[in-house]
């Protein structure tokens, strides 16, 4: 009994379709993540950070688009420091701080540099975010 083997052109077409389908799925996941927020983005208010900044100035504030609940901004300060300010949607900075202190003994976590009632500052750690599979 003879079976038909696919030719190279057919295999290339199938591979191309799979690559395109994977790309489209990834784009749909990213779009769903952006649209699936539990809370609206919080506007950045530099006056919140007065005590932490001292005489330093904020040169730029760039909002991260990932995240479902809280809002984070990457800040560049006049002394060269790059940090992240996280604005909590439900004033849970203290609770998350305690959880991070606990987790620090188990897994790597960023050091909390400063905390307010509904915000916290962390050092910026360079890397690449990946969407969580659904």
Q: What is the mean pLDDT of residues 38-58?
A: 89
* Residue 116 pLDDT level (bands cut at 50, 70, 90): confident
Domain range for 15 is 7-36
54 and 23 in a common domain: no
50 and 87 in a common domain: yes
Residues in the chain: 134
Query: Can you list the alpha helix ranges (DSSP code H) found in 36-88?
Result: 50-53
Tell me the pTM.
Answer: 0.66
Q: Is residue 57 part of a domain?
A: yes
58 and 113 in a common domain: yes
Looking at the 3D structure of the chain, how many domains does it have? Answer: 2
Nearest by Cα to 83 from 131, 38, 46: 46
Tell me, what's the pLDDT at 27?
Answer: 55
For residue 130, give both structure tokens. Answer: 């990946």
């Amino acid at each position: 009994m003879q079976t038909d083997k696919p030719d190279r052109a057919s295999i290339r077409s199938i591979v191309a379709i799979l690559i395109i389908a994977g790309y489209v799925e990834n784009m749909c996941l990213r779009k769903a993540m952006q649209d699936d927020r539990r809370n609206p983005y919080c506007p950045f208010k530099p006056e919140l950070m007065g005590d932490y900044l001292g005489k330093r100035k904020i040169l730029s504030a760039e909002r991260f688009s990932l995240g479902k609940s809280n809002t984070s901004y990457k800040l560049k300060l006049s002394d060269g420091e790059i940090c992240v300010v996280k604005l909590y949607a439900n004033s849970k900075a203290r609770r998350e701080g305690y959880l991070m202190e606990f987790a620090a003994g188990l897994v790597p976590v960023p050091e909390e540099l400063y905390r307010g009632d509904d915000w916290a500052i962390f050092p910026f750690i360079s890397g690449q975010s990946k969407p969580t599979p659904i």
